[in-house]
Amino acid sequence: MAKAKKIIVGSRGSKLALIQTNWVISELKRLTPKLEFQIEKVSTKGDKITDAPLSRLGGVGLFTKELEAALIKGKIDIAVHSAKDVPTEIAEGLTIGATPKREDPHDVLISNNNATLEKLPDNARIGTSSLRRRAQLLAFRPDFKILDLRGNLDTRLKKLDTDDMDAIIVAYAGLIRMGYDGRISQIIPFEIMLPAVGQGSLCIEIRKDDALTEKIVSGMDDPQTRVAIEAERALLAKLQGGCQVPIGAYAQILKKEVCIEAIICTLEGDHAIRDRHSGPVKQAAKIGNELAMRMLENGGDRILHDIRQEFQGRIDHL
Please name which of 9, 17, 2 lies closest in space to residue 202, comparing C-alpha atoms: 17
Residue 158: its pLDDT value, please? 87
| Domain shared by 311 and 166, yes or no | no
Compute the chain's Rg from CA coordinates.
Answer: 20
CA–CA distance, 157 with 155 (Å, rounded to integer): 5
pLDDT, tens digit (0-9, with 9 covering 90-100), for 128-155:
989 999 999 999 999 999 998 878 888 8
Q: Please name the helix (run of DSSP H) or strand (run of DSSP E) that holds residue 302, with its range, or none.
A: helix 301-316
CA–CA distance, 173 with 267 (Å, rounded to integer): 25
**Picking from 51-65, 165-179, 216-230, which range would have the lowest pLDDT averaged per residue?**
51-65
Q: What would the mean pLDDT of 46-69 be, rounded to a whole number? A: 68
| Domain shared by 94 and 50, yes or no | yes
| Domain shared by 51 and 144, yes or no | no
CB 64 within 8 A of CB 10: no
**Picking from 117-126, 166-175, 213-222, 232-241, which range would have the lowest pLDDT averaged per residue?**
232-241
Length of the chain: 318
Number of domains forming the structure of the chain: 3
Q: Is the pLDDT of residue 184 over 80?
A: yes
Active site residues: 85
What is the domain-level CATH number for residue 260? Answer: 3.30.160.40
Please count the other Cβ atoms lying within 10 Å of the Cβ belonging to residue 313: 9
pLDDT, tens digit (0-9, with 9 covering 90-100), for 78-122:
999 999 999 999 999 999 999 999 999 999 999 988 999 999 999
CA–CA distance, 121 with 242 (Å, rounded to integer): 32
Domain membership of residue 118 as a residue range? 107-187
Q: Is residue 193 part of a domain?
A: no
Q: Is residue 38 part of a domain?
A: yes
| Domain shared by 69 and 118, yes or no | no
Q: Please name the helix (run of DSSP H) or strand (run of DSSP E) that holds residue 258, with its range, or none.
A: strand 257-265
The pTM of this model reads 0.91
Q: What would the mean pLDDT of 8-15 be, rounded to a whole number? A: 94
Q: Is residue 263 part of a domain?
A: yes
Please count the other Cβ atoms lying within 10 Å of the Cβ belonging to residue 162: 8
CB 83 within 8 A of CB 202: yes
CB 32 within 8 A of CB 9: no
Please name which of 130, 136, 137 lies closest in space to residue 156, comparing C-alpha atoms: 130
| Domain shared by 11 and 73, yes or no | yes
| Domain shared by 84 and 136, yes or no | no
Rounded to 10 degrees, the C-alpha dihedral 113/116/119/125 comes to 70
| Domain shared by 132 and 180, yes or no | yes
pLDDT band at 59 (very low <50, low <70, confident <90, very high): low
What is the domain-level CATH number for residue 172? Answer: 3.40.190.10
Q: State percent of the chain over pLDDT 90.
A: 77
pLDDT band at 2 (very low <50, low <70, confident <90, very high): very low
Q: Is residue 75 part of a domain?
A: yes
Q: Is residue 210 part of a domain?
A: yes
pLDDT, tens digit (0-9, with 9 covering 90-100), for 272-303:
999 999 999 999 999 999 999 999 999 999 99
Q: What would the mean pLDDT of 230-259 be, rounded to a whole number? A: 90
Residue 214: its pLDDT value, please? 97
| Domain shared by 41 and 55, yes or no | yes
| Domain shared by 305 and 248, yes or no | yes
| Domain shared by 90 and 157, yes or no | no
Q: Is the pLDDT of residue 265 over 80?
A: yes
Q: Is residue 196 part of a domain?
A: no
Q: Is residue 82 part of a domain?
A: yes
| Domain shared by 182 and 50, yes or no | no
**For helices 15-31 and 153-162, what crossing angle results, to 10°?**
150
Residue 154: its pLDDT value, please? 85
Query: 151 in the Ramachandran plot: left (φ > 0), alpha (ψ -120 to 50) or beta?
Result: left
| Domain shared by 47 and 90, yes or no | yes
Q: State percent of the chain over pLDDT 70.
A: 90
Residue 101: its pLDDT value, please? 97
Sorted by sequence, the CB contacts under 8 Å of residue 307 that are 6+ apart come out as 244, 245, 246, 266, 267
Q: Is residue 74 part of a domain?
A: yes
